[in-house]
Amino acid sequence: MSLDRIKAGLRAQRIETPSWAYANSGTRFKVFPQPGVPRDPFEKVADAAVVHRLTGIAPTVSLHIPWDLVDDWTKLREFAQEQSVALGAINANVFQDEDYKLGSVTHPDPRVRRKATDHLLDCVDVMDATGSQDIKLWFSDGTNYPGQDDMRSRQDRLAEALAEVYRRLGGDQRMLLEYKLFEPAFYATDVPDWGTAYAHCLELGPKAQVVIDTGHHAPGTNIEFIVAFLLRQRKLGAFDFNSRFYADDDLMAGAADPFQLFRIMYEIVRGGALDPAYGITFMLDQCHNIEAKIPAILRSVLNIQEATAKALLVDRDVLGAAQQSGDVLAANAALMDAFNTDVRPMLAQLRADDGRDPDPIAAYHRSGYFERISADRTGGVQAGWGA
Protein backbone atom coordinates (compact mmCIF):
# COMPACT_ATOMS: atom_id res chain seq x y z
CA MET A 1 0.00 0.00 0.00
CA SER A 2 1.32 3.47 -0.82
CA LEU A 3 2.26 5.84 1.99
CA ASP A 4 -0.59 8.15 0.99
CA ARG A 5 -3.14 5.36 1.34
CA ILE A 6 -1.66 4.30 4.66
CA LYS A 7 -1.96 7.87 5.90
CA ALA A 8 -5.51 8.16 4.59
CA GLY A 9 -6.41 4.97 6.48
CA LEU A 10 -4.88 6.33 9.68
CA ARG A 11 -6.63 9.68 9.30
CA ALA A 12 -10.01 7.95 8.92
CA GLN A 13 -9.52 5.76 12.00
CA ARG A 14 -11.90 6.34 14.95
CA ILE A 15 -11.51 5.09 18.53
CA GLU A 16 -14.21 5.57 21.16
CA THR A 17 -13.12 6.13 24.75
CA PRO A 18 -15.21 4.99 27.74
CA SER A 19 -16.54 7.50 30.29
CA TRP A 20 -15.69 5.12 33.15
CA ALA A 21 -11.98 5.05 32.28
CA TYR A 22 -11.71 8.72 33.28
CA ALA A 23 -13.23 8.12 36.73
CA ASN A 24 -11.84 6.53 39.87
CA SER A 25 -11.75 2.75 39.78
CA GLY A 26 -10.06 -0.11 41.54
CA THR A 27 -10.23 -3.74 42.41
CA ARG A 28 -12.48 -5.30 45.02
CA PHE A 29 -9.59 -4.82 47.44
CA LYS A 30 -9.06 -1.08 47.14
CA VAL A 31 -9.89 1.98 45.07
CA PHE A 32 -6.99 4.45 44.97
CA PRO A 33 -8.56 7.85 44.34
CA GLN A 34 -6.69 10.19 42.00
CA PRO A 35 -6.64 13.98 41.92
CA GLY A 36 -8.63 15.75 39.22
CA VAL A 37 -10.95 12.90 38.28
CA PRO A 38 -14.35 13.91 36.87
CA ARG A 39 -17.24 14.50 39.26
CA ASP A 40 -20.00 14.11 36.70
CA PRO A 41 -20.62 13.03 33.09
CA PHE A 42 -19.89 16.54 31.82
CA GLU A 43 -16.38 16.41 33.21
CA LYS A 44 -15.88 12.92 31.77
CA VAL A 45 -16.89 14.27 28.36
CA ALA A 46 -14.49 17.21 28.83
CA ASP A 47 -11.62 14.77 29.48
CA ALA A 48 -12.58 12.68 26.46
CA ALA A 49 -12.48 15.87 24.38
CA VAL A 50 -8.89 16.47 25.52
CA VAL A 51 -7.93 13.00 24.29
CA HIS A 52 -9.59 13.74 20.97
CA ARG A 53 -7.95 17.15 20.58
CA LEU A 54 -4.51 15.64 21.15
CA THR A 55 -4.88 12.52 19.02
CA GLY A 56 -7.45 13.59 16.42
CA ILE A 57 -8.91 10.06 16.32
CA ALA A 58 -11.08 9.73 19.44
CA PRO A 59 -14.20 11.79 18.64
CA THR A 60 -16.78 9.81 20.65
CA VAL A 61 -17.25 8.72 24.25
CA SER A 62 -19.21 5.68 25.46
CA LEU A 63 -21.65 6.28 28.29
CA HIS A 64 -22.79 3.93 30.98
CA ILE A 65 -26.27 3.89 32.49
CA PRO A 66 -26.75 4.56 35.40
CA TRP A 67 -23.20 5.78 36.10
CA ASP A 68 -23.67 8.63 33.62
CA LEU A 69 -27.34 9.42 34.18
CA VAL A 70 -28.19 13.11 33.76
CA ASP A 71 -31.50 14.97 33.94
CA ASP A 72 -31.07 16.70 30.63
CA TRP A 73 -29.58 14.65 27.80
CA THR A 74 -29.84 17.54 25.34
CA LYS A 75 -27.57 19.55 27.59
CA LEU A 76 -24.95 16.77 27.70
CA ARG A 77 -25.26 16.23 23.97
CA GLU A 78 -24.78 19.94 23.27
CA PHE A 79 -21.92 20.17 25.73
CA ALA A 80 -20.20 17.31 23.88
CA GLN A 81 -20.76 19.09 20.57
CA GLU A 82 -19.22 22.30 21.93
CA GLN A 83 -16.19 20.23 22.90
CA SER A 84 -16.06 18.72 19.39
CA VAL A 85 -16.91 15.22 20.50
CA ALA A 86 -20.12 13.16 20.36
CA LEU A 87 -21.84 10.71 22.68
CA GLY A 88 -21.25 7.12 21.63
CA ALA A 89 -22.55 3.71 22.68
CA ILE A 90 -24.86 3.36 25.66
CA ASN A 91 -23.65 0.62 28.01
CA ALA A 92 -26.39 -0.97 30.07
CA ASN A 93 -25.92 -2.10 33.66
CA VAL A 94 -27.82 -5.17 34.80
CA PHE A 95 -25.14 -6.33 37.18
CA GLN A 96 -25.02 -3.87 40.09
CA ASP A 97 -28.22 -4.49 41.97
CA GLU A 98 -29.17 -6.79 44.86
CA ASP A 99 -31.89 -8.28 42.67
CA TYR A 100 -29.33 -9.61 40.19
CA LYS A 101 -27.61 -12.05 42.50
CA LEU A 102 -28.90 -15.03 40.50
CA GLY A 103 -28.95 -13.25 37.16
CA SER A 104 -30.71 -10.41 35.36
CA VAL A 105 -32.52 -11.31 32.13
CA THR A 106 -31.88 -15.00 32.84
CA HIS A 107 -33.03 -14.87 36.48
CA PRO A 108 -35.50 -17.61 37.46
CA ASP A 109 -37.92 -14.98 38.85
CA PRO A 110 -39.97 -13.23 36.15
CA ARG A 111 -40.12 -10.05 38.27
CA VAL A 112 -36.34 -9.66 38.16
CA ARG A 113 -36.28 -10.44 34.44
CA ARG A 114 -38.88 -7.72 33.86
CA LYS A 115 -36.85 -5.21 35.86
CA ALA A 116 -33.68 -6.02 33.89
CA THR A 117 -35.40 -5.90 30.51
CA ASP A 118 -37.06 -2.60 31.44
CA HIS A 119 -33.63 -1.16 32.18
CA LEU A 120 -32.45 -2.22 28.73
CA LEU A 121 -35.51 -0.58 27.18
CA ASP A 122 -34.77 2.59 29.19
CA CYS A 123 -31.27 2.54 27.67
CA VAL A 124 -32.83 2.64 24.20
CA ASP A 125 -34.83 5.70 25.34
CA VAL A 126 -31.53 7.26 26.37
CA MET A 127 -30.13 6.48 22.90
CA ASP A 128 -33.05 8.33 21.34
CA ALA A 129 -32.19 11.34 23.49
CA THR A 130 -28.42 11.26 23.01
CA GLY A 131 -28.41 10.31 19.35
CA SER A 132 -26.35 7.23 20.17
CA GLN A 133 -26.56 4.45 17.65
CA ASP A 134 -25.61 1.48 19.79
CA ILE A 135 -26.78 -0.23 22.93
CA LYS A 136 -23.96 -2.36 24.31
CA LEU A 137 -24.98 -5.35 26.38
CA TRP A 138 -22.78 -7.27 28.73
CA PHE A 139 -24.46 -9.72 31.07
CA SER A 140 -22.84 -10.89 34.27
CA ASP A 141 -25.44 -13.67 34.25
CA GLY A 142 -24.34 -17.18 34.98
CA THR A 143 -24.16 -19.83 37.67
CA ASN A 144 -21.52 -20.92 40.14
CA TYR A 145 -22.50 -24.53 40.69
CA PRO A 146 -23.73 -27.39 38.53
CA GLY A 147 -27.45 -27.76 39.04
CA GLN A 148 -27.85 -24.23 40.43
CA ASP A 149 -30.27 -23.36 37.62
CA ASP A 150 -31.42 -24.89 34.37
CA MET A 151 -28.89 -23.77 31.74
CA ARG A 152 -31.23 -24.41 28.86
CA SER A 153 -34.08 -22.34 30.37
CA ARG A 154 -31.64 -19.51 30.99
CA GLN A 155 -30.85 -19.47 27.28
CA ASP A 156 -34.57 -19.22 26.51
CA ARG A 157 -35.01 -16.34 28.97
CA LEU A 158 -32.02 -14.53 27.51
CA ALA A 159 -33.34 -14.94 23.96
CA GLU A 160 -36.73 -13.63 25.02
CA ALA A 161 -35.31 -10.48 26.63
CA LEU A 162 -32.98 -9.80 23.73
CA ALA A 163 -35.87 -10.15 21.28
CA GLU A 164 -37.97 -7.65 23.22
CA VAL A 165 -35.16 -5.08 23.23
CA TYR A 166 -34.38 -5.77 19.58
CA ARG A 167 -38.00 -5.01 18.63
CA ARG A 168 -37.72 -1.65 20.39
CA LEU A 169 -34.67 -0.52 18.34
CA GLY A 170 -35.11 2.30 15.84
CA GLY A 171 -34.18 1.86 12.19
CA ASP A 172 -30.60 3.03 12.54
CA GLN A 173 -29.95 1.65 16.03
CA ARG A 174 -27.99 -1.50 16.83
CA MET A 175 -27.70 -3.99 19.63
CA LEU A 176 -24.12 -4.98 20.41
CA LEU A 177 -23.80 -8.20 22.40
CA GLU A 178 -20.64 -8.82 24.36
CA TYR A 179 -19.41 -12.20 25.61
CA LYS A 180 -17.13 -13.13 28.47
CA LEU A 181 -15.77 -16.50 29.41
CA PHE A 182 -16.17 -16.20 33.16
CA GLU A 183 -16.43 -13.77 36.08
CA PRO A 184 -18.49 -13.02 38.02
CA ALA A 185 -19.98 -16.45 37.29
CA PHE A 186 -17.47 -19.25 37.76
CA TYR A 187 -19.26 -22.36 36.52
CA ALA A 188 -21.36 -21.34 33.52
CA THR A 189 -21.72 -17.90 31.96
CA ASP A 190 -24.86 -17.34 29.91
CA VAL A 191 -23.00 -15.54 27.07
CA PRO A 192 -19.54 -17.07 27.45
CA ASP A 193 -18.12 -16.93 23.94
CA TRP A 194 -18.39 -15.49 20.44
CA GLY A 195 -20.31 -18.52 19.18
CA THR A 196 -23.11 -18.03 21.69
CA ALA A 197 -23.22 -14.29 21.05
CA TYR A 198 -23.18 -14.92 17.30
CA ALA A 199 -26.04 -17.43 17.47
CA HIS A 200 -28.22 -15.04 19.47
CA CYS A 201 -27.43 -12.18 17.08
CA LEU A 202 -28.17 -14.34 14.06
CA GLU A 203 -31.57 -15.27 15.48
CA LEU A 204 -32.33 -11.62 16.28
CA GLY A 205 -31.52 -10.13 12.88
CA PRO A 206 -29.19 -7.70 11.11
CA LYS A 207 -29.29 -5.01 13.79
CA ALA A 208 -27.72 -7.35 16.36
CA GLN A 209 -23.95 -7.74 16.23
CA VAL A 210 -21.18 -9.18 18.36
CA VAL A 211 -18.70 -7.22 20.52
CA ILE A 212 -15.22 -8.63 20.93
CA ASP A 213 -13.72 -7.57 24.25
CA THR A 214 -10.10 -8.56 23.87
CA GLY A 215 -9.82 -9.42 27.58
CA HIS A 216 -12.68 -11.94 27.61
CA HIS A 217 -11.09 -15.10 26.25
CA ALA A 218 -9.30 -18.15 27.54
CA PRO A 219 -5.51 -17.75 27.47
CA GLY A 220 -4.09 -18.51 24.03
CA THR A 221 -7.36 -17.94 22.15
CA ASN A 222 -6.76 -16.86 18.55
CA ILE A 223 -8.77 -13.64 18.61
CA GLU A 224 -7.85 -12.64 15.07
CA PHE A 225 -9.55 -15.80 13.83
CA ILE A 226 -12.75 -14.68 15.57
CA VAL A 227 -12.37 -11.27 13.91
CA ALA A 228 -11.97 -12.85 10.48
CA PHE A 229 -14.94 -15.16 10.99
CA LEU A 230 -17.31 -12.48 12.27
CA LEU A 231 -16.30 -10.04 9.53
CA ARG A 232 -17.03 -12.69 6.93
CA GLN A 233 -20.50 -13.08 8.44
CA ARG A 234 -21.00 -9.31 8.79
CA LYS A 235 -21.65 -9.86 12.48
CA LEU A 236 -18.80 -7.94 14.06
CA GLY A 237 -20.24 -4.74 15.55
CA ALA A 238 -17.61 -3.47 17.96
CA PHE A 239 -14.46 -4.00 19.95
CA ASP A 240 -13.78 -3.40 23.59
CA PHE A 241 -10.02 -3.03 23.53
CA ASN A 242 -7.91 -3.63 26.62
CA SER A 243 -5.10 -5.91 27.75
CA ARG A 244 -5.05 -8.83 30.11
CA PHE A 245 -2.29 -11.00 31.44
CA TYR A 246 -4.31 -13.62 33.35
CA ALA A 247 -8.01 -12.85 33.06
CA ASP A 248 -10.20 -9.83 32.27
CA ASP A 249 -8.45 -6.98 34.04
CA ASP A 250 -8.90 -4.00 31.70
CA LEU A 251 -5.28 -2.92 31.41
CA MET A 252 -4.17 -0.54 28.64
CA ALA A 253 -4.77 -1.80 25.08
CA GLY A 254 -1.54 -2.97 23.52
CA ALA A 255 0.29 -3.19 26.84
CA ALA A 256 0.26 -6.94 27.30
CA ASP A 257 0.55 -8.15 23.73
CA PRO A 258 1.15 -5.58 20.99
CA PHE A 259 1.69 -8.43 18.52
CA GLN A 260 -1.83 -9.73 19.16
CA LEU A 261 -3.21 -6.22 18.67
CA PHE A 262 -1.33 -6.01 15.36
CA ARG A 263 -2.74 -9.38 14.23
CA ILE A 264 -6.26 -8.23 15.09
CA MET A 265 -5.82 -4.95 13.23
CA TYR A 266 -4.36 -6.80 10.26
CA GLU A 267 -7.59 -8.83 9.95
CA ILE A 268 -9.54 -5.56 10.18
CA VAL A 269 -7.48 -4.02 7.38
CA ARG A 270 -7.64 -7.27 5.38
CA GLY A 271 -11.45 -7.22 5.75
CA GLY A 272 -11.73 -3.57 4.64
CA ALA A 273 -13.31 -2.80 8.02
CA LEU A 274 -11.11 0.04 9.28
CA ASP A 275 -13.11 2.80 7.65
CA PRO A 276 -15.87 4.12 9.95
CA ALA A 277 -18.31 3.70 7.05
CA TYR A 278 -17.99 -0.08 7.49
CA GLY A 279 -19.75 0.29 10.82
CA ILE A 280 -17.44 -1.23 13.41
CA THR A 281 -17.10 0.76 16.62
CA PHE A 282 -13.59 0.51 18.01
CA MET A 283 -13.89 1.21 21.71
CA LEU A 284 -11.64 1.03 24.70
CA ASP A 285 -12.96 -0.73 27.79
CA GLN A 286 -10.39 -0.07 30.46
CA CYS A 287 -9.85 1.03 34.02
CA HIS A 288 -6.75 2.87 35.18
CA ASN A 289 -6.42 1.92 38.79
CA ILE A 290 -2.83 2.90 39.55
CA GLU A 291 -1.71 4.95 36.54
CA ALA A 292 -2.74 8.50 35.59
CA LYS A 293 -5.97 8.25 33.65
CA ILE A 294 -5.80 10.67 30.71
CA PRO A 295 -2.19 9.77 29.82
CA ALA A 296 -3.12 6.07 30.04
CA ILE A 297 -6.04 6.60 27.69
CA LEU A 298 -3.77 8.54 25.32
CA ARG A 299 -1.24 5.69 25.48
CA SER A 300 -3.97 3.16 24.64
CA VAL A 301 -5.28 5.15 21.68
CA LEU A 302 -1.73 5.56 20.39
CA ASN A 303 -1.01 1.84 20.86
CA ILE A 304 -4.01 0.98 18.70
CA GLN A 305 -2.94 3.57 16.15
CA GLU A 306 0.57 2.08 16.02
CA ALA A 307 -0.80 -1.45 15.59
CA THR A 308 -3.04 -0.15 12.81
CA ALA A 309 -0.17 1.61 11.05
CA LYS A 310 1.80 -1.66 11.09
CA ALA A 311 -1.21 -3.57 9.81
CA LEU A 312 -1.57 -1.09 6.95
CA LEU A 313 2.14 -1.50 6.20
CA VAL A 314 1.86 -5.22 5.46
CA ASP A 315 2.80 -5.74 1.83
CA ARG A 316 -0.28 -7.66 0.79
CA ASP A 317 1.09 -8.44 -2.69
CA VAL A 318 4.22 -10.03 -1.26
CA LEU A 319 2.17 -11.81 1.40
CA GLY A 320 -0.39 -13.08 -1.12
CA ALA A 321 2.31 -14.36 -3.49
CA ALA A 322 4.06 -16.18 -0.65
CA GLN A 323 0.79 -17.71 0.50
CA GLN A 324 -0.08 -18.83 -3.03
CA SER A 325 3.27 -20.47 -3.57
CA GLY A 326 3.16 -22.14 -0.20
CA ASP A 327 6.24 -20.30 1.00
CA VAL A 328 5.52 -20.47 4.70
CA LEU A 329 8.60 -18.58 5.83
CA ALA A 330 8.23 -15.77 3.28
CA ALA A 331 4.56 -15.34 4.22
CA ASN A 332 5.40 -15.16 7.90
CA ALA A 333 8.25 -12.75 7.13
CA ALA A 334 5.89 -10.43 5.26
CA LEU A 335 3.81 -10.04 8.40
CA MET A 336 6.79 -9.79 10.73
CA ASP A 337 8.51 -7.15 8.58
CA ALA A 338 5.52 -4.89 9.04
CA PHE A 339 5.19 -5.66 12.74
CA ASN A 340 8.87 -4.96 13.36
CA THR A 341 8.79 -1.57 11.62
CA ASP A 342 9.04 1.44 13.91
CA VAL A 343 6.01 3.46 12.79
CA ARG A 344 6.37 6.14 15.46
CA PRO A 345 8.27 8.65 13.25
CA MET A 346 5.64 8.30 10.53
CA LEU A 347 2.80 8.86 13.00
CA ALA A 348 4.57 11.87 14.53
CA GLN A 349 4.92 13.34 11.04
CA LEU A 350 1.27 12.65 10.29
CA ARG A 351 0.24 14.57 13.41
CA ALA A 352 2.57 17.44 12.58
CA ASP A 353 1.14 17.58 9.05
CA ASP A 354 -2.33 17.85 10.58
CA GLY A 355 -1.28 20.69 12.87
CA ARG A 356 -1.11 18.56 16.02
CA ASP A 357 1.70 18.06 18.44
CA PRO A 358 3.74 15.07 17.23
CA ASP A 359 3.81 13.72 20.80
CA PRO A 360 0.29 13.82 22.32
CA ILE A 361 1.39 12.59 25.77
CA ALA A 362 4.14 15.18 26.11
CA ALA A 363 1.71 17.82 24.86
CA TYR A 364 -0.78 16.78 27.53
CA HIS A 365 1.82 17.07 30.27
CA ARG A 366 2.83 20.52 29.00
CA SER A 367 -0.76 21.74 28.64
CA GLY A 368 -1.39 22.35 32.35
CA TYR A 369 -4.75 20.51 32.07
CA PHE A 370 -3.92 18.07 34.84
CA GLU A 371 -2.90 20.87 37.21
CA ARG A 372 -6.12 22.70 36.35
CA ILE A 373 -8.47 19.76 36.96
CA SER A 374 -6.57 18.77 40.11
CA ALA A 375 -7.17 22.25 41.53
CA ASP A 376 -10.75 22.63 40.26
CA ARG A 377 -12.24 19.22 40.83
CA THR A 378 -12.50 17.93 44.32
CA GLY A 379 -14.41 14.80 45.29
CA GLY A 380 -14.17 12.90 41.98
CA VAL A 381 -16.57 10.02 41.49
CA GLN A 382 -15.91 6.32 41.32
CA ALA A 383 -16.51 4.72 37.95
CA GLY A 384 -18.72 2.10 39.49
CA TRP A 385 -16.19 -0.71 39.44
CA GLY A 386 -14.38 -2.08 42.45
CA ALA A 387 -16.82 -0.70 44.97
In this chain, which of 224, 248, 267, 359 binds ligand AOS, going by CB under 6 A? 248
Q: Which is nearer to ligand AOS, 54 or 304 (CB)?
A: 304
CA-derived radius of gyration, the chain: 21
Q: How far is the CB of 213 from ligand AOS (least distance, A)?
A: 5
16 binds ligand AOS (CB under 6 A): no
Nearest distance from residue 283's CB to Zn ion, in Å?
A: 8
Nearer residue to ligand AOS within complex by CB, 25 or 305:
25
Give me the phi and psi of 252, to 5 degrees please. -60, 135
Decide: is 213 part of the binding site for ligand AOS (CB under 6 A). yes
Q: Does 16 bind Zn ion (CB under 5 A)?
A: no
Q: Give, rounded to a whole angstrom, the gap between the first and last alpha carbons of the chain.
A: 48
Q: DSSP assignment of 254-293, as one string?
A: TTS-HHHHHHHHHHHHHTT--SGGG--EEEE----SSS-H
Helices (H), the chain: 3-12, 41-55, 73-82, 110-130, 151-168, 194-204, 223-232, 258-270, 293-313, 316-324, 328-339, 344-353, 360-367, 369-376
Instruction: Judge if the upstream peptide bond of residue 108 is cis by omega within 30 degrees of 0.
Output: no
CB of 77 to ligand AOS, least distance (A): 20
Exactly one of 7, 53, 64, 351 binds ligand AOS (CB under 6 A); which one?
Answer: 64
Site for Zn ion in 277-296 (CB under 5 A): 285
68 binds, among ligand AOS, Zn ion, none (CB under 5 to 8 A by kind): none
Contacts of 214 (CB under 8 A, 6+ apart): 223, 239, 240, 241, 242, 243, 244, 253, 260, 261, 264
User: Taking CB under 6 A as the rule, which mask of x and - marks residues 167-206 in contact with ligand AOS?
Assistant: -----------x-x--------------------------
User: What distance in Å separates the CA atoms of residue 222 and residue 197, rounded to the nearest whole number?
Assistant: 17
Tell me, by CB under 6 A, how many residues bind ligand AOS.
10
Judged by CB under 6 A, the residue of 17, 55, 83, 91 near ligand AOS is: 91
Q: Is 7 one of the binding residues for ligand AOS (CB under 6 A)?
A: no
Interaction site with Zn ion (CB under 5 A) = 213, 240, 248, 285
Interaction site with ligand AOS (CB under 6 A) = 20, 64, 91, 138, 178, 180, 213, 240, 248, 285
